[in-house]
């Protein structure tokens, strides 16, 4: 009987050879809880949400059940990139008006998404019985998802940090622009000050070429380890591609609009590496969306 590592190697080998059907790529590993991944950035305008959307689709293509929570309350736009208008938000669950399945919207390629609205602020106002009811409702997401991507706001605010520190792991998006690099390092430093064991994976977006992207990834890793004693995990890069802008204007993810483009290949490569990393970690470390919300509420009440 194969152990997890052997199953993982088989999945990855199949991904590389592309000789099996997509439905066969579903990992035959019983998981206790989905992994909750926070997608964030040190500054706005780096393509964080676009990456979250297309990464979710790429993971779904590989057979994983994906839910995206749009928690960027200032500039929530997952629905815009999907070209959809959700009827409900997380706020409807918090107020006990809807259950979690009623507020989940169906995106393309079997990806589901939910708008956070102003829901997190409302969590602070709940008494213990109301909070218990909310957690019991939202925990149902753990039964229907393998990966939950949380698209938070950009920057270094307490709000962003609460989300970052509550997730199982952090996916940090940066670009080669000096201001983006500076803000990304500032965010890494803030995370390091709170938890040097926090897993941070890095994606470079809009690089001009492979050398520029790899050079930035290497420098961020070296500086973080030397000065912060924190090891980063380079996840990959997306090179500048005109099809991304075209897809955004069409309100359709580039992975669907331009499936054979270079940037689509690159996001698929990132999704495969994410799967490898996911099944190498300890399942016991993953607490699902219920664990995430419990930690988040703890930070909000601190």
Per-residue pLDDT of the chain (302 residues; tens, 9 = 90+): 445 455 455 555 555 544 434 444 444 344 568 999 999 999 999 999 999 999 999 999 999 999 999 987 656 688 889 988 888 888 889 888 899 999 999 999 999 999 876 666 677 788 888 888 988 999 999 999 999 999 988 889 888 899 999 999 999 999 999 999 999 999 999 999 999 989 899 999 999 999 999 999 999 999 999 999 999 999 999 999 999 999 999 999 999 999 999 999 999 999 999 988 765 655 555 689 999 998 988 888 77
Look up residue 2 and give its DSSP letter. Answer: -
Report domain 31-301's class: alpha beta
Report the SS3 class of residue 96: coil
Distance CA 56, CA 295 (A): 23
Packed helices 262-280 and 48-61: angle between N→C axes, nearest 10 degrees: 70
Q: What is the CA 2 to chain-centroid distance, rounded?
A: 29
Contacts of 191 (CB under 8 A, 6+ apart): 161, 164, 165, 170, 198, 200, 230
Phi/psi of residue 84, each to 5°?
-135, 155
């Amino acid at each position: 009987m194969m152990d997890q590592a052997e199953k993982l190697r088989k999945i990855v080998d199949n991904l590389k050879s592309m000789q099996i059907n997509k439905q066969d790529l579903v990992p035959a590993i019983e998981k206790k809880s989905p992994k909750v991944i926070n997608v964030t950035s040190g500054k706005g305008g780096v393509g964080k949400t676009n990456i979250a959307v297309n990464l979710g689709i790429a993971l779904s293509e590989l057979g994983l059940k994906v839910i995206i929570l749009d928690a960027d309350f200032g500039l929530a736009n997952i629905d815009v990139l999907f070209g959809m208008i959700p009827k409900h938000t997380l706020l409807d669950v918090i107020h006990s008006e809807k259950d979690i399945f009623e507020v989940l919207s169906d995106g393309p390629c079997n990806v589901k998404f939910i708008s956070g609205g102003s829901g997190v602020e409302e969590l602070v106002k709940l008494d213990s019985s109301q909070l218990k009811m909310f957690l019991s409702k939202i925990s149902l997401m753990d039964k229907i998802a393998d990966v939950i991507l949380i698209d938070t706001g950009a920057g270094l605010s307490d709000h962003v940090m609460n989300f970052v520190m509550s997730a199982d792991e952090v996916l940090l998006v940066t670009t080669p622009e000096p201001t983006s690099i500076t803000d990304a390092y500032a965010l890494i430093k803030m995370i390091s000050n709170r938890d040097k064991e926090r897993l941070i994976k890095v994606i470079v977006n809009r690089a001009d070429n492979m050398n520029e992207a790899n050079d930035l990834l290497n420098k961020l890793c070296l500086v973080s380890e030397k000065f912060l004693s924190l090891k980063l995990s380079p996840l990959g890069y997306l090179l500048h591609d005109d099809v991304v802008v075209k897809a955004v204007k069409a309100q359709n993810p580039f992975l669907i609009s331009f499936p054979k483009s270079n940037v689509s290949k690159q996001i698929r490569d990132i999704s495969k590496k994410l799967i490898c990393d996911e099944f190498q970690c300890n399942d016991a470390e993953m607490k699902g969306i219920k664990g995430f919300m419990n930690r988040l509420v703890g930070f909000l009440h601190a």
